[in-house]
Amino acid sequence: MSSQPASETVGSPNVVLRAAELRDVQSIVGLIRELAEFEQLTHLLQVTPEKLRPHLFGEKPVAEAMVAELGGEVVAFALYFTNFSTFLAQPGLYLEDLYVRPVHRGNGIGEAMLTRLAKLAVDRGYGRFEWCVLDWNENAIRFYERMGATVMPDWRLSRVTGEALAALASR
């Protein structure tokens, strides 16, 4: 995976965007817990620093993360990975999660993170940058549309996990 650009100050004073580092795993996990609470999905939460660490910083990382830091505190994160479009015959950047603590929203952090990820996709020669949004999260939908995203009304996410995944794999 290509490295991210160096850290930069964005939005409100003293907010620094940078590539996540090993020391950020605990903070990222805390933000993931906050996101799960916001999305009312805590019943699905299994993340721990020990489970996340190898996937971001192990021998074969499968995802990357960016953080926004204010006064030494991580206040936002974005976790993303490379996917592939068969129609474009190009890789793409998939944003799994972006979360900004509520008290820091409206200060340009989310916009700066999306902009930086779009630039990363362009710099890597990727054909697209995409993510999902919950249909009830009107604020996020409006924000993404203002940023130029198209919410795809005809597409539905399909998912197989847990016991259903094991059952499908054993057919």
How many CB atoms lie under 10 A from the CB of residue 107?
Answer: 19
Q: Name 164's Cβ contacts closer than 8 Å, sequence gap at least 6.
A: none
Angle at 9 between CA 106 and CA 34, to 5 degrees: 45
144 is catalytic: yes
Pick the catalytic residue from 80, 94, 99, 144: 144
158 SS3 class: coil
Which amino acids are annotated catalytic?
144
